[in-house]
Chain A
Amino acid sequence: MTASHSVLAQLNTGERAVALIGGDATDANLRRYLHGIPGIDAVGLEQRAAALGTRSIKTSSKKWAIDKIISLIDLTTLEGADTPGKVRSLVGKALTPDPGDPSCPRVAAVCVYGDMVPHAVAALGSAHSAGTDAGVNVAAVATAFPSGRASLAVKLADVRDAVEAGADEIDMVIDRGAFLSGRFAQVYDEIVAVKHSCRRADGSAAHLKVILETGELSTYDNVRRASWLAILAGADFIKTSTGKVPVAATLPVTLSMLEVVRDWHRLTGAKIGVKPAGGIRTSKDATKYLVTVAETVVEEWLTPGLFRFGASSLLNDVLMQRQKVTSGHYSGPDYVTMD
């Protein structure tokens, strides 16, 4: 460790990165730092994740978990065919997940493409949190999502547009090509630039979620290094994937990212969020993630500020489970609403 907890806590992001890396964020310095992080044994990681997945969450714990999962969802639509109408419908679902049960919590945010942000903001109206703790956030994917293959200028314009349109959170993608070819400084600089573009005129800033696209990074060691790199550069959240490549969120990959977040907290005292996205479709799966968060970091991480599910179909499965827990009978797809 190059600096103590208390010293690191007082530095700004850039200074802290320099202190930790031991120099400027060059490819060589970053490589040395990232490759100095302990490796991951894939077999052991997957076994640990599988073991966490065998926790049996019953009765009162299950009930708590169901409401918690709902409150952590970034309800998402990311399709070429998205329309204002589709986004309004999504927002309606976000605000009232179960029309038959007013005690059902709202989701954390809706997640849309940048050009849909104004429609989401409008549809939310007074329910838009807009920087407050109450209400539902609007998250926008940006930086030429999902491939990220555009010039930096285009990516930053993408971000600024979304922020100006009222996005509370920006989900950016890293340049996986640059990462895989060892151009760590480029990835780092892009994240720094995007973070800068998240700032609003009033001095506040949209929260930055950095999508690693873990399926494309392929190895757990890469995921761990990319996680550290993103956090060093200023990510508020690290996120597994876009849902646009075949391998998205898995429990082991999320576990490995949670371990980074835990270690960063030990090192600096700062809290970084984690968002698995893509492929989490059932209440049972989502519960495994809650267990993994609680037993890897601490239970306090189970809050929208520090943990999210990026999902679309997950919500209805959770709602059916919720109806079962409440009524004692199994529910069916016709008893939950489409978004």
Chain B
Amino acid sequence: MTRLAVPKTYKLYLGGTFPRSESGRVYEIRSHDGEFLANAAKASRKDARDAVVAARSALGGWAGATAYNRGQVLYRIAELLEGRRAQFMAEIVQAEGVTPAAASAQVDEAIDRWVWYAGWADKYLQVAGNANPVSGPYFNLSVPDPTGVVAIIAPQTGGSLLGLVSAVAPALVSGNTVVVIANETMPLSAISLGEVLATSDVPGGVVNVLTGSPAEMAPWLASHADVNALDLVGAGDLDWVHLEIDAAETLTRVLQPENGPDAASPSLARILAFTETKTIWHTKGLI
């Protein structure tokens, strides 16, 4: 006799905890072939607001950690993901209807992406910063600084795990904290990733995962005065121009949507897109 499985309740990942939506709403997640998989939390604007609060309060600690430490914490995610690859593969196969080999390849790529970005944490600053030879007796240095709270609309097409990782990881490298709206129809691996993050060394609030409707939540994040940057990478099918217009209200930095296989492909530019160059002058006097 086969054992009756214990299904998981998929909730949001906010401030290091797994709450249900404050609205109490859920929506059905079905597999590629229409089979019921779970009731995912349908996050509301208030959940989005709470996520921004959580991200803001986690910012000081994460941005203030040493670059070496951030690199190790990001690398630790890769380690944990490796240990739970079977679970992620199964979720991907169910949700996306791909072969186990393809799911495995996606998990591999997601893991490798964490490793690649982890390695940047203590290097991007050297590559992007520089000493400036000003004409005067001054020490003058330009360094990139994290922009702050980054709201991301994860890719809605392509690999549901890889797309999320590709969008979230680069924002974390420099010390930003993230509020991410997961793939609407395939959100389960995003919540499972939240579980990985929760058991890794990533402090609570550094990554906050919302599931539900991007069309519903994105306007609130785009117009939120305490969101410093908006990554619309996965918003290509939305009326995203209005999101960009909303973001202009507080001069929120915007990355426009990307489509196709190269969307959110790994790059230094993606790290630097969520940084601000800070230039420090100090007088130099021997006498």
Contacts and interface: CB of A to CB of B under 8 A. Distances in A.
- A–B touch (CB < 8 A): the answer is yes
B97 interface: no
Nearest to A223: B287
B281 to A, nearest CB: 10
Contacts of A220: 285, 287
Interface in B248-287: 283-287
B138 A42 contact: no
A43 B287 contact: no
Contacts of B284: 43
Contacts of A218: 287
A215 to B, nearest CB: 10
A38 interface: no
Contacts of B60: none
A131 B280 CA distance: 56
A49 to B, nearest CB: 13
Nearest to A44: B283
Contacts, number: 18
B61 interface: no
A219 B136 CA distance: 19
B285 A41 contact: yes
B282 to A, nearest CB: 9
A220 B283 CA distance: 15
B286 A43 contact: no
Interface string B136-163: 1110000000000000000000000000
A220 B285 CA distance: 10
B283 A41 contact: yes
B283 to A, nearest CB: 4
Contacts of A44: 283
Interface string A99-141: 0000000000000000000000000000000000000000000
A218 B138 CA distance: 20
Nearest to B138: A43
A219 B287 CA distance: 4
Interface residues of A, number: 7
Max chain A C-beta neighbours (<10 A), residue from B138, B284, B285, B287: B287
A44 B282 CA distance: 11
Nearest to B286: A42
Interface in B56-103: none
Nearest to A252: B287
A44 B281 CA distance: 13
Contacts of A41: 283, 285
Nearest to A45: B285
B154 to A, nearest CB: 50
Contacts of A219: 287
A218 B285 CA distance: 12
Contacts of A42: 137, 283, 285-287
A220 B137 CA distance: 16
A161 B284 CA distance: 46
A218 B287 CA distance: 6
A250 to B, nearest CB: 10
Contacts of B287: 42, 218-220
Max chain B C-beta neighbours (<10 A), residue from A41, A43, A44: A43
Contacts of B285: 41-43, 220
A43 B281 CA distance: 12
Contacts of B286: 42
A220 to B, nearest CB: 6
B128 to A, nearest CB: 28
A43 B137 CA distance: 7
B137 to A, nearest CB: 5
A41 B283 CA distance: 8
Nearest to A217: B287
A44 B138 CA distance: 11
A219 B285 CA distance: 9
Interface in A28-77: 41-44
Contacts of B137: 42-43
A101 B284 CA distance: 49
Interface string B116-138: 00000000000000000000111
Interface string A210-239: 000000001110000000000000000000
A301 B287 CA distance: 27
Max chain A C-beta neighbours (<10 A), residue from B137, B283, B284, B285: B285
Interface string A241-264: 000000000000000000000000
A220 B287 CA distance: 6
Contacts of A43: 136-138, 283-285
A44 B287 CA distance: 12
11 contacts: A42-B137, A42-B285, A42-B286, A43-B137, A43-B138, A43-B283, A43-B285, A218-B287, A219-B287, A220-B285, A220-B287
What are the 5 closest A-B residue pairs judged by CB atoms, nearest first? A42-B285, A43-B283, A219-B287, A43-B137, A43-B285
Given A41-B285, A43-B138, A43-B283, 4 more contacts: A42-B137, A42-B285, A43-B136, A43-B284
